């Protein structure tokens, strides 16, 4: 079975990719997401993809799936009714948060409410110290009575157990979980030390609450998906994408749905990195723009930047601290509400505003003809001539240009006293500026100079805006991979099986020796590799990456130190030098001889490479060079309009040069090349625009 499928559910569209490993060919598909039940679009799209390519379901070896279902459930508060058991005296931690204001001067700031409301929390007598010592044994009778009360009076479906310092000794949480599984088998149960075995109770408890809150929904979704695939005749393996860029077997995904918060977007970043390595472009800005959001991520040295904390459900789009903190491995991305479905409107000041509200997939933009009444970015791009109303999704969907004209005229052009093209151009440019501003902040905070890097642009809307954003940021080169409209689905096929673990254990390095250093890592390595082995990966095919979070004694935060030799004696001997070099690189100074402590011990286990390489061929692309120019279309760029040549992306030969203004169409997206800009096709089929340095 040489075929593999990647499926990525987005807010507006669900993307599909079918890869033939033997032939090196790729077939792609895109269709509207079904918000009420996303699995409907997944199953229907897979059937359509296989039928149109004359492939039988029993020929599919595995399916890699990415979804924003978990994120959406938290944002929209569509999770399970969840109860919470906490250490006596600490039930207000979810409301107290960190007692920090994310904006010191705004007296009206708000915070997201806790996922588990106060009436659904119960306090249990127990106490574990920071070093794991038990000073008060957990009252299991009281715990059982509290659970019964939550089931009877609050009708909970899921329970989260969050005890103080459980990361140092999880015995009390484990004992309560055993009661739940024995006496309340219908309840889903999550323990904080299982999800996040790390210090800092607010972040750990919030992460565990998200896991418990989304677990029933995600379990049902996966169950329905597995049943639907079985009915279609699928006998291969299903894998789920995590936020950190790896994939998991369904059992692990069910246990840790919180790891799926950024499931789909992470895949596109991995594919950007793959293209960058193939083109010897190690420094990249990955730009993904779809129907609902735009995502930016940085690739340094050929690998995406990662982080171990994130926020979800922010009440202020750009303010760190305004969301629910999550402690989980993730690719470091910035996400803003800018996409094809972003709604344009005149605000209370009489100014044009675009996003973050989105028309989504239902009803979608007005031009979809599905009842949408709001002007959106897609409506504007259609009026500007960037989209062909008869070629949307390769001709499977016809856009209603008259509906787009009417809605923008009525809601934007007339109130602002603008002609129709100018109003549409304003919508287009505001999104460009919003995206560029967000990316500029993201890169600056990480010390990344994008003026010496390249951009990889993808998503259904990304190629329409990439060159304009690159000009604003002064990025000298933009790469449009073939199949850019569904690149997150392609990235799923490049994602290896992987699992990461991080555990807190405060230890002075002066108190360690070689054996105790390696001994602390040993159980972590065993647990992480165990998830892969249970998914069918041979132990010899698993690679392990070890790191530690370290700080000078007395500091409140730590920095990550990657161990080049793993948990070996050589790594321990060189630990002091590694820390001082990294600290000096970040802060320009170090303190030789200062007492050092390790806070967190981290392990990442990764399975073998999937074998997907840049340079794949599209299975339905036809013969290159046969009628590459499809015709012309009038496009608007600022105050001027031009008769622009329109090219079929699949018919362009390697070495072909294109001078703008022009549009290059593929089935799922359109690349807009502005006046005076040039681009060419390389040997791998990538469309590359060289903007030069400012």
Task: Return the minimum-mean-pLDDT range out of 156-170, 283-297, 351-365.
Answer: 351-365
Q: Which range, 57-71, 287-301, 413-427, 583-597, is most confident?
A: 413-427
- Which are the contacts of 106, defined by CB distance < 8 A and separation ≥ 6? none
CA atoms of 498 and 267, how far apart (whole Å): 13
Which CATH number does 78-219 carry? Answer: 3.40.1360
d(CA 671, CA 689): 10
Query: For residue 311, which of 64, 74, 553 has the smallest C-alpha distance?
Result: 74
Averaged confidence pLDDT in the chain: 91
- The pLDDT score that the predictor gives to residue 481 is 92
Tell whether the model's pLDDT for residue 622 goes beyond 50: no
C-alpha torsion sign, points 393, 395, 397, 400: positive
User: Is the alpha carbon torsion for 368, 373, 374, 380 positive or negative?
Assistant: positive
**C-alpha to C-alpha distance for 150 and 454, rounded to whole angstroms:** 54
Q: What is the 3-state secondary structure (H, E, C) of 177-233?
A: HHHHHHHCCCCEEEEHHHHCCCCCHHHHHHHHHHHHHHHHHHHHHHHHHHHHHHHCC
Instruction: Show the tokens assigned to 117.
Output: 């409301």
The closest alpha carbon to 506, from 568, 585, 596, 423, belongs to 596
List, in order, residues 6 or more apart from 108 with CB less than 8 Å away.
none
pLDDT above 60: residue 469: yes
| Alpha-carbon gap, residue 179 to 174, rounded angstroms | 9
Using pLDDT thresholds of 50, 70 and 90, give the confidence band for residue 317: low
Average pLDDT over residues 315-324: 79
- Computed on alpha carbons and rounded to an integer, the radius of gyration of the chain in Å comes to 26
The yes-or-no verdict on residue 625 having pLDDT over 60 is no
Question: Computed from CA positions of residues 32, 38, 39, 40, in that sequence, does the dihedral angle turn out positive or negative?
Answer: negative
Per-residue pLDDT, 1:
53
**Structural contact between residues 471 and 363, judged by C-beta atoms closer than 8 angstroms:** no
Asked if the domains 3-74+222-236 and 498-606 are classified in one and the same CATH topology, the answer is: no
498-606: CATH architecture: 2-Layer Sandwich (3.30)
Per-residue pLDDT of 106-120, as tens digits, reads 888 888 899 999 999
Please tell me the number of Cα atoms within 13 Å of 104 on its side-chain side: 0
The answer to whether the CB of 295 falls within 8 A of the CB of 270 is no
- Give the whole-angstrom CA distance, residue 9 versus residue 4: 17
Cα dihedral 204, 205, 208, 213, rounded to 10, equals -150
Whole-structure pTM value: 0.87
The segment with the largest mean pLDDT, out of 382-396, 441-455, 633-647, is 633-647
- Average pLDDT for residues 641-668, to the nearest whole number? 92
pLDDT attached to residue 694: 44
Residue 347 · residue 412 · CB < 8 Å: no
What pLDDT, on a 0 to 100 scale, did the predictor assign at position 623? 45
- Domains of the chain, by residue range, sit at 3-74+222-236, 78-219, 342-428, 498-606
Question: In the prediction, which pLDDT does 692 show?
Answer: 65
pLDDT tier at 394, thresholds 50, 70, 90: confident
Distance CA 393, CA 302 (A): 32
d(CA 127, CA 134): 6
For the cut 90, the answer to whether the pLDDT of residue 391 exceeds it is no
Q: What whole-number distance in Å separates Cα of residue 408 and Cα of residue 352?
A: 12
Q: Is the dihedral of CA 378, 382, 386, 392 positive or negative?
A: positive
The mean pLDDT of 640-653, rounded to a whole number, is 93
Give percent above pLDDT 70 in the chain.
Answer: 98
Q: Give the residue-averaged pLDDT of 73-93.
A: 93
Decide if pLDDT at 38 tops 60.
yes
Per the model's pLDDT, the better-predicted residue between 82 and 617 turns out to be 82
- Between the alpha carbon of residue 694 and those of residues 121, 296, 430, 470, 477, the distances in Å are 58, 22, 22, 11, 12
φ, ψ dihedrals at 679, nearest 5°? -145, 160
Residue 127 has pLDDT above 60, yes or no: yes
Contact at 8 Å (CB) between 296 and 364? no
pLDDT at residue 318, rounded to an integer: 62
Say how far apart CA 451 and CA 574 lie, in whole Å: 35
Decide if pLDDT at 29 tops 60. yes
Reading the block at residue 410, the tokens are: 């009525």
Please tell me the predicted confidence (pLDDT) of residue 236. 93
Which tens digit of pLDDT belongs to each residue from 350-382?
A: 999 998 888 877 788 999 988 889 999 999 999
| Residue among 264, 312, 341 at smallest CA distance from 38 | 264
N-to-C CA span, the chain: 50
Assigned superfamily of 3-74+222-236: ATPase, nucleotide binding domain (3.30.420.40)
- The partner residues of 14 in beta bridges, in order of sequence, read 9, 31
């Amino acid at each position: 079975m040489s075929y593999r499928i990647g499926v990525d559910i987005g807010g507006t569209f669900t993307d599909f990719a079918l890869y033939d490993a033997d032939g090196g060919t790729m077939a792609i598909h895109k269709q509207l997401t079904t918000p009420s039940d996303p699995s409907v679009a997944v199953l229907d799209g897979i059937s359509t993809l296989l039928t149109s390519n004359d492939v039988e379901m029993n020929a599919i070896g595995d399916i890699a799936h990415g979804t924003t279902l978990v994120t959406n459930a938290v944002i929209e508060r569509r999770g399970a009714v969840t109860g919470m058991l906490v250490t006596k005296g600490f039930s207000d931690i979810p409301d107290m948060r960190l007692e920090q204001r994310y904006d010191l001067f705004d007296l009206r700031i708000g915070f997201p409410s806790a996922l588990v409301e106060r009436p659904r929390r119960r306090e249990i007598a127990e106490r574990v110290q920071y070093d794991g010592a038990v000073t008060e044994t957990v009252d299991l009778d009281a715990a059982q009575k509290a659970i019964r009360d939550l089931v009877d009076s609050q009708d909970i479906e899921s329970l989260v157990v969050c005890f103080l310092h459980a990361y140092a000794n999880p015995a009390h949480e484990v004992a309560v979980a055993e009661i739940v599984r024995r006496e309340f088998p219908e309840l889903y149960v999550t323990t904080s030390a299982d999800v996040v075995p790390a210090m800092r109770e607010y972040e750990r408890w919030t992460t565990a609450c998200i896991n418990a809150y989304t677990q029933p929904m995600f379990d049902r979704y996966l169950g329905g998906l597995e049943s639907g695939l079985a009915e279609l005749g699928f006998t291969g393996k299903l894998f789920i994408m995590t936020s950190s860029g790896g994939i998991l077997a369904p059992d692990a995904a069910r246990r840790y749905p919180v790891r799926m918060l950024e499931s789909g977007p992470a895949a596109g970043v991995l594919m950007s990195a793959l293209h960058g390595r193939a083109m010897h472009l190690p420094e990249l800005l990955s730009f993904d723009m779809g129907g609902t959001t735009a995502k930016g991520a940085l690739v340094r040295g050929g690998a995406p930047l990662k982080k171990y904390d994130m926020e979800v459900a922010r009440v202020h789009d750009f303010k760190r601290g305004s969301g629910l903190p999550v402690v989980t491995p993730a690719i470091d991305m910035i996400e803003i509400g800018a996409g094809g479905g972003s709604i344009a409107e005149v605000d209370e000041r009489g100014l044009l505003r675009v996003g973050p509200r989105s028309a989504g997939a239902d009803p979608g933009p007005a031009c979809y003809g599905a009842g949408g009444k709001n002007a959106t970015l897609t409506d504007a791009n259609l009026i500007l001539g960037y989209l062909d109303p008869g070629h949307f999704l390769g001709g499977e969907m016809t856009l209603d240009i008259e509906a787009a004209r009417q809605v923008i005229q009525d809601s934007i052009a007339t109130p602002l006293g603008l002609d129709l093209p100018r109003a549409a151009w304003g919508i287009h440019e505001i999104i460009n500026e919003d995206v560029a501003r967000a990316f500029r902040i993201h890169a600056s905070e990480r010390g990344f100079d994008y003026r010496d890097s390249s951009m990889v642009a993808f998503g259904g809307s990304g190629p329409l805006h990439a060159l304009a954003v690159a000009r604003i940021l002064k990025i000298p080169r933009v790469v449009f991979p073939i199949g850019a409209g569904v690149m997150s689905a392609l990235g799923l096929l490049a994602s290896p099986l992987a699992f990461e673990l991080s555990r807190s254990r405060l230890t002075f390095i002066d108190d360690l020796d070689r054996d105790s250093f390696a001994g602390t890592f040993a159980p972590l390595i065993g647990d992480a590799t165990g998830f892969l082995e249970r998914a069918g990966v041979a132990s010899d095919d698993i690679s392990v990456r070890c790191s530690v979070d370290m700080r000078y004694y007395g500091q409140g935060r730590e920095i990550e130190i990657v161990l080049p030799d793993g948990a070996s004696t050589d790594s321990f001997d060189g630990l002091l030098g590694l820390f001082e070099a990294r600290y000096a690189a970040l802060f320009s100074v170090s303190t030789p001889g200062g007492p050092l402590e390790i806070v967190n011990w981290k392990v990442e286990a990764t399975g073998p490479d999937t074998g997907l390489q840049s340079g794949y061929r599209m299975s339905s692309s036809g013969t290159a060079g046969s009628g590459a120019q499809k015709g012309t279309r009038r496009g608007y760029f600022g105050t001027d309009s031009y008769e622009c040549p329109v090219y079929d992306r699949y018919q362009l030969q390697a070495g072909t040069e294109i001078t703008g203004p022009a549009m290059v169409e593929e089935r799922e997206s359109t690349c807009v090349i502005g006046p005076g800009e040039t681009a060419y096709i390389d040997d791998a089929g990538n469309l590359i625009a060289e903007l030069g340095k400012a």
